Amino acid sequence: MSVGRAVASFFALAALVAATPQTACAQTGSVFGTVFDSIGGRPLEDAAVFLWDTPHRGVTDEDGGFRIVGIPPGDYSLLFFHTELGSLGVSPGPRSLHIEAGADTRVDLATPSMATVVTAQCLIEDRPDGAGAIAGRVTDGMSALPLAEARVTLSWDDPEEPAPNVVELTTGSGGWYRSCLAPAGVPVLLSASYFGREGVRREVVVEDNGFEEAALELYQHRASVLHGHLVDNESGKGVEGAETWLRGTFHRTLTDRNGRFELEDVAPGTYMLMTDHLAYGVKMDTLLIPPEQILEVEMRLDTRPIEIAPLTVVAEAPPVTIDRRRGGIVITRDEIDEVRLRSRDASDVIRSLHVPGVIVRHSSNGNICVGFSTGQVKMNQTGCVSMMIYINDVRATDPNMALRLPPDAIERMVVYKPIQAGNLFGLGGGNGVWMIYTRGN
């Protein structure tokens, strides 16, 4: 072979080698997209995404994004898996996918919603008529880590029985619990505990064959003592012999000759305070119990079928006058319902609705701080300087507790900006004021 022909053969071979990767790339395609956590309401990180029965796979980043390259043209089944799905015992199923040579194909994936997961599980368990499903996750309030083996209790009053019905559950490895036996149309009181940590109690109501999600955060809460006084609205005299109880609990007693009662060792949470008397009938009102408090409550009863303000809770400040309710950013019950399913408490409602200027922060010790942008520097430098919180026109003794009021218990809210709040409430309103009105008030 001559030198000229050898050189020509070498350059021809080099050109063929150089062209091979480009040719191979042109003959394959890729798939990219995101994986969304429908249960947590956020992108799903560290999910394994793969083409079934092939070596092509990828892992999602912190934004839930993934990309798989070098896929030969053809039809495939795209799947993903995450440990969260394993703890729930569900699979989202495959997605059919067609790959074309040289083309990028976008496919966005999502986990099944909690409602879908629980509904499917309850169908397998043959849920009885007149029942609904309640499910959620139990987490540590300080670290936000899921708590396995936590005890969850569902309880509700039965008019035929002196004591409430109780269902006890244990969370799985991912902190999840579920019950397919919640009575439809009946307020169910939820609570959870784990090695001395307690969850703030809350009531939920589920429709027949319906579903309610209820997440529970646990803290080192200590119980409170409730001192109550039932009085006649006209005479002001105490009402003797009235049966008084917290709905869905074993806290039940009778008022003495002066209309007074006491309930000890009451865990923090939102309750319905119930009374029953032959002359006054059954009365009720929402009661917020903060941790480690001795609470004084006065409930006024009337034999006439008129609306009165029956419940007065002793707090650190007097009730707000009616003139102070004017103005502000009003949040209606309809607006609360729009974000209720993805909100655990009142602070989540404000954050989900993106109220202008309002900043919500959860600190490492489990406390919640809410303020306006003008107060943000104070939050950063000296700890939480929260806006003032009022429940039914009474200033909350524990703002952090008030911010954990469940969405189902709230009828409406009014938020005042610092300048407006300062004019209406004085110096104490310099970081804003948040008025919360519960249902039934």
Q: Provide φ and ψ at 324, rounded to 5°.
A: -80, -5
**pLDDT at site 427:** 54
**pLDDT at site 382:** 46
Three-state DSSP at 170 gives: strand
User: Is-contact 70 28, C-beta < 8 A?
Assistant: yes
**pLDDT at site 15:** 43
How far apart are alpha carbons 160 and 231 in whole angstroms? 28
**pLDDT at site 380:** 44
Conformational region of residue 64, where left means phi above 0, alpha means psi within -120 to 50, and beta covers everything else: left
Distance of CA 378 to the CA centre of its chain: 27
Q: Provide the CATH number for the domain formed by 224-313 in this structure.
A: 2.60.40.1120
**Domain with residues 23-110, CATH architecture:** Sandwich (2.60)
What is the arrangement of strands in the sheet containing 260-266, beginning at the earlier edge strand? Answer: 260-266, 224-232, 294-301, 311-313
The tens-digit pLDDT sequence of the chain (441 residues) is 444 454 344 344 444 444 444 444 568 999 999 999 887 778 999 999 999 999 999 999 999 999 999 999 999 999 998 887 766 666 778 899 999 999 999 999 998 888 888 877 787 777 778 888 999 889 888 788 889 999 999 999 988 888 899 999 999 878 889 999 899 999 999 999 998 888 888 888 898 888 888 888 888 877 889 999 999 988 889 999 999 999 999 899 999 999 999 999 898 888 889 999 988 888 888 888 888 888 888 888 887 654 445 555 554 444 444 344 456 888 888 898 888 877 778 888 888 888 877 887 766 556 677 877 544 434 444 456 677 888 877 777 667 777 878 888 888 888 888 777 766 766 556 678 888 888 765
User: Is-contact 172 147, C-beta < 8 A?
Assistant: no
**pLDDT at site 401:** 74
Please report, for the chain, the start and end positions of each structural domain, with discontinuous segments joined by +.
23-110, 114-219, 224-313, 322-438
Question: Partners of 318 in the beta sheet?
Answer: none
The pair of structure tokens assigned to 187 is 């307020």
Identical fold, 23-110 and 322-438: no
**pLDDT at site 377:** 35
CA angle 438, 196, 263 (to 5 degrees): 50
User: Is-contact 255 242, C-beta < 8 A?
Assistant: yes
The pair of structure tokens assigned to 293 is 């408090």
**Domain with residues 322-438, CATH architecture:** Beta Complex (2.170)
Question: Partners of 436 in the beta sheet?
Answer: 391, 413
CATH topology of domain 114-219: Protocatechuate 3,4-Dioxygenase, subunit A (2.60.130)
